[in-house]
Structure 1
Amino acid sequence: MSDYDDWIGRSFSREDRVTSRMLEEFHATLSGLLGPGEVPPGFHWCLAPEALPPEDLGRDGHPRTGIFLPRLPLPRRMWAGGEVEVIAPLRTGDRVEKTSTIRDVKFKTGRSGDLGFVEVDHTYVVGGATRIRERQDLVYREDPSPDRPAPEPPQTADWDVVDSWTVSPDPVLLFRYSALTFNGHRIHYDGDYARKVEGYDGLVVHGPMQAVWMQNLAARILGRPARFFRYRGLAPLTVGYDVKVEARQQEDHLDLRVRRRADNVVTMSARADM
């Protein structure tokens, strides 16, 4: 761990503007899956991406580690979950300063092998006032081994669903969302790479896009963005599975999940505080 201590606390900032063109493309890509508001929940993930030339990319299409994030001895990157606090919504025309700070780096061994965890804090500031705070949880893993069985998917309980959406992810949706977020990860558009290198059974649906679905379903129920939204990836979602995005009412919050309709596997879960 001493090799990574000097990464903790490192920050970098960049700016972007909320434009009408970006919002139009966001609405077109996620039509029918957005809640109320001028700038829908989850749009902030389109702002100020890491933009590097090809020589600074890793094999997976992401910026290689050692530039913005620590150089970990594990090749596969996953966006595993996080937390979003909406203090005030963004507006069209806002000039946003995004500051990213590495919070923690740690390792452990799980059923699927060695794992590296990087926690990153992000703040989105407009005119000196913080609009959104976020914690992003990244997981780095070993390449898949044919000798190691895949983890068992989590069990699914029946819910008293108060609202839901049905989504049928396809390659066009994945491509357009990758373009919106400037996400070069090859698992979202290169089927051979996704299957043969990273061990998935097809093109992988973005974790943050699934979180966007749940954030916006919560906003539709509440009539506004949830102040706190916590989410966690549970199982891969690949193209070819239809899903239900579901919400159930609790006393002081909403539970949300993305559930594959064919086998009832939950790929992502969330909690939206009321």
Structure 2
Amino acid sequence: MSKYIIIHVFVRIFSNMQENSKDPITQSNEQCSLTMVRRVAAMLDLDSKSFSEGDLLPKGWHFFMLAGETRKSELRSDGFPGLGVPIPDLGLPRLLLGGRTVSYNGDIVIGSVVEKTSFIKSIVEKTTNSGPMAIVTIQHELRPISETSPAIIETQTYILLSASKASNNSEKTLSQPIEAEHQKNIIPDETLIFQYSALGFNSHKIHLDRSYAQNSEGLPDLVVNGGLTTLLLTEYIRTNLGLEITDIKVKHIAPLYCNRPMTLTAKKSETDWKLYVYDNNNDIAVEAEINVK
């Protein structure tokens, strides 16, 4: 047997999904509800009454319209309600968010109705020295019913793993101090994580059940939702720097945990903005690229 790791890769890429794919495409009409918008504002500690029907939805706030409707009896064992569309049972019970890209091609008006279209963009299965894994990419599109093309296209990448505990490297030596022209410190607590999970109808136990996170998955504490981190980044750009995002690409490198400080930083390059989120050890947990108008 070769001394090198043998990797078997199975790739299914769905091109031109709407016309040619036999795999599920789900469509539904979703309302950009003023009630939900005001609850997002309250979660972010903003004046909820400052938002009214007819206003434009702030960039990043569309996440509640991507929520699924999985019945309680059909939830995964970890509580995750699904990826928005059915996927094959790959026998991989652990799930992590690897990253996302979001393109803002238009605006969504608060109070309006949008058509949501979701489908599997690709599935990649691998066998590595750590065991089997799969990378599942889901695409969501939100199109105002008065328009002919989507206002928002979001692609989410999930990593599915076998039933083994994560390595707990939470107790580490503090890295070098963070040096950035633009930075903001946030401590995500149980309330913030709960409210974001509830608004997105996400019942994944790593965000809500401390005992499960620690004893079943070997994590030091509740995990901060990847989508929540993205929302906090877009809000930082919107409210602190006063910029309007046109697209964002986010990569998750390491988990962020409840009640542990996280530092958001932003730096302008020649063509875009580079953003990083540092964990409580001053190590990079999330990196992102953002284009603005």
Q: Quote the offset at 1:44 in angstroms.
A: 1.3
Which residues of 2 match residues 33-112 of structure 1 at below 5 A? Answer: 38-63=56-81, 68-109=86-127, 112=130
Kept in 2, the 8 Å contact 1:163–1:221? The answer is no
Whole-Å Cα distance in 1 between the matches of residues 91 and 116 of structure 2? Answer: 28
The amino acid of 1:28's aligned partner reads A
Kept in 2, the 8 Å contact 1:156–1:266? The answer is no
The amino acid of 2:161's aligned partner reads R
Residue in structure 1 matched with residue 32 of structure 2 by the alignment: 18
Cα-to-partner distance string for 1:44-96 (whole Å, 9 max, x where unaligned): 11114111222111111123689622212210111210110001122111201
What number of residue pairs does the alignment pair up? 268
Pair 1:135 & 2:135 matched: no
Which residues of 2 match residues 1-274 of structure 1 at below 5 A? Answer: 9-31=23-45, 38-63=56-81, 68-109=86-127, 112-126=130-144, 127=146, 128-145=148-165, 161-220=180-239, 223-260=242-279, 262-274=280-292
Q: Quote the offset at 1:266 in angstroms.
A: 1.6
Runs of 5+ consecutive residues of structure 1 not aligned to the other structure: none
Whole-Å Cα distance in 2 between the matches of residues 269 and 74 of structure 1? Answer: 26
Q: Tell me: CA distance 1:200–1:93, structure 2 relative to 1, closer, same or farther (3 Å).
A: same
Q: Tell me: CA distance 1:115–1:8, structure 2 relative to 1, closer, same or farther (3 Å).
A: farther
- Identical aligned pairs, as a percentage? 25
Whole-Å Cα distance in 1 between the matches of residues 268 and 234 of structure 2? Answer: 14
Cα-to-partner distance string for 1:72-124 (whole Å, 9 max, x where unaligned): 22101112101100011221112011101111101234575432100111110
Residue in structure 1 matched with residue 3 of structure 2 by the alignment: none
Q: Quote the offset at 1:163 in angstroms.
A: 2.2
Q: Quote the offset at 1:2 in angstroms.
A: 7.4
Runs of 5+ consecutive residues of structure 2 not aligned to the other structure: 1-8, 15-20
Question: Where do 4+ consecutive residues of structure 1 move more than 6 Å?
Answer: 1-8, 148-151, 155-159
TM-score normalised by the chain length of structure 2: 0.81
Please tell me whether Structure 1 or Structure 2 has the larger radius of gyration of its CA atoms: 2
Q: Quote the offset at 1:258 in angstroms.
A: 1.1
Cα-to-partner distance string for 1:138-190 (whole Å, 9 max, x where unaligned): 110122258x7869x9x978776332221111111111111110111111110
Whole-Å Cα distance in 2 between the matches of residues 226 and 48 of structure 1? Answer: 19
Cα-to-partner distance string for 1:124-148 (whole Å, 9 max, x where unaligned): 00023310011110110122258x7
Q: Tell me: CA distance 1:215–1:149, structure 2 relative to 1, closer, same or farther (3 Å).
A: closer
Whole-Å Cα distance in 2 between the matches of residues 64 and 215 of structure 1? Answer: 24
What SS is found at the alignment partner of 1:239? Answer: coil
Q: Tell me: CA distance 1:71–1:121, structure 2 relative to 1, closer, same or farther (3 Å).
A: same
Kept in 1, the 8 Å contact 2:119–2:138? The answer is yes
Whole-Å Cα distance in 1 between the matches of residues 71 and 45 of structure 2? Answer: 32
Whole-Å Cα distance in 2 between the matches of residues 123 and 239 of structure 1? Answer: 30
What SS is found at the alignment partner of 2:70? Answer: coil
Residue in structure 1 matched with residue 17 of structure 2 by the alignment: none
What SS is found at the alignment partner of 1:68? Answer: coil
Q: Tell me: CA distance 1:244–1:145, structure 2 relative to 1, closer, same or farther (3 Å).
A: closer
Whole-Å Cα distance in 1 between the matches of residues 128 and 169 of structure 2? Answer: 12
Kept in 2, the 8 Å contact 1:218–1:272? The answer is no
Q: Quote the offset at 1:8 in angstroms.
A: 7.4
